């Protein structure tokens, strides 16, 4: 009896236990992994993926033509442990007939929770308040001290009413938001009905919202969408939050808007680049809260993402229906 030829799988990082265990149980696969929590250097990635049948990657891994060439003709499946796919050269991948798996839905609620947390943290100036406690700035109760902005009776604008945008709108309900606006490629009347949300232009959303949350995908149309013109249309008391992709925002223009008082505050869970350099001007501002892209960072969500990514990969390699396949 001839020995069964194993399919080579390369994993670009340590992943949570449920995904790792699923790969380890796959008797038809030989799994190699970059054994670190830090990103794999490009040269090591090219060496690791050479000859692989399947690749499990993260959103921080750039899967471009050069890497696909290094992988060779064996590569049949790419499974990304992310909902975003802007790190994948999709046209090139489609040309080569490679199947792609991704992890939508499973991180929706965690990311929406983070968006609300970041919104509240920013609008109520929590980092500033914590620092005042630590540095002795808290001397007594003062009527005008540490005042921020509240969600009750406000207008909230959401850019992108997809899965995450809808979850954010759902989380906002108990806060007594008076009016909910949204914008995107096209109206979504069925989804918007649940929240009585109004479809408006990007310009109207910027001008009328007290709080703006960016939850859209990164596309050629949304790249640099939030720029100088956008911020100039916003209210001076408005708070801006981005949990989508850093490239949607022109960060130089955002810095100027914050530093000049054009807008009140901003909260970012995504930046360009990632990580943001520690000497970046945005980090000098008290009215800018920046998190290290932790939208999906709960133990349950990351475990579920890793398992779905592993199952996508294995199903693709076996010629089966993937639990979540990206249609190219």
Catalytic residues: 293
Which residues contact residue 212 at a Cβ distance below 8 angstroms, ignoring those fewer than 6 apart?
Answer: 156, 157, 158, 159, 205, 206, 234, 238, 239, 240, 241
- DSSP H helices, the chain, are 17-24, 42-49, 65-71, 90-95, 108-123, 126-135, 163-172, 189-193, 202-208, 228-233, 251-259, 299-317
Which letter, b or e, does each residue of 39-54 get, where b requires 16 or more Cβ atoms within 10 Å of its Cβ? ebeeeebeebbeebbb
Identify the three-state secondary structure at position 132. Answer: helix
Rounded to the nearest 10 degrees, what angle do helices 17-24 and 299-317 cross at? 20
DSSP string, 237-257: T-EEEE-S-GGGB-HHHHHHH
Does an H or E element contain 186, and which?
none
27 touches 2 (CB < 8 A) = no
| Residues 290, 282: Cα–Cα separation, whole Å | 8
Burial class (CB in 10 A: 0-12, 13-18, 19+), 113: middle
| Residues 171, 136: Cα–Cα separation, whole Å | 35
| Residues 84, 280: Cα–Cα separation, whole Å | 25
């Amino acid at each position: 009896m001839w020995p069964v030829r194993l399919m080579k799988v390369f994993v670009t990082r340590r992943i949570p236990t449920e995904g790792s265990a699923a790969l380890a149980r796959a008797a038809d696969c030989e799994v190699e992994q970059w054994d670190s929590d830090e990103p794999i250097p490009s040269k090591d990635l090219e060496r690791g993926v050479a000859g692989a049948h399947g690749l499990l990657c993260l959103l921080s891994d750039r899967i471009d033509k050069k890497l696909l060439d290094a992988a060779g003709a064996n590569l049949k499946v790419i499974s990304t442990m992310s909902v975003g796919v802007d790190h994948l050269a999709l046209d090139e991948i489609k040309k080569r007939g490679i199947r792609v798996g991704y992890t939508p839905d499973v991180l929706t609620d965690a990311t929406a929770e983070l968006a609300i947390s970041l919104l509240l943290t920013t609008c109520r100036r929590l980092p500033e308040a914590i620092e005042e406690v630590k540095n002795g700035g808290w001397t007594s109760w003062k009527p005008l001290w540490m005042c921020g902005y509240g969600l009750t009776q406000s207008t909230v604008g959401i850019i992108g009413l997809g899965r995450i945008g809808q979850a954010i709108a759902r989380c906002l309900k108990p806060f007594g938001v008076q009016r909910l606006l949204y914008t995107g490629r096209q109206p979504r009347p069925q989804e918007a009905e649940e929240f009585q949300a109004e479809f408006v232009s990007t310009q109207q959303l910027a001008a009328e919202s007290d709080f703006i949350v960016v939850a859209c995908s990164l596309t050629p149309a949304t790249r640099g969408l939030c720029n100088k013109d956008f911020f100039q249309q916003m209210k001076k008391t408005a708070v801006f939050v981005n949990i989508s992709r850093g490239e949607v925002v022109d960060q130089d223009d955002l810095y100027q808007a914050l530093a000049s008082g054009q807008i009140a505050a901003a909260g970012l869970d995504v930046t360009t680049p990632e990580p943001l350099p520690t000497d970046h001007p945005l980090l000098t501002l008290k009215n800018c809260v920046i998190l290290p892209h932790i939208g999906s960072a709960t133990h349950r969500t990351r475990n579920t993402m890793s398992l779905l990514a592993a199952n996508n990969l294995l199903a693709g390699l076996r010629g089966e229906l993937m639990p979540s396949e990206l249609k190219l």
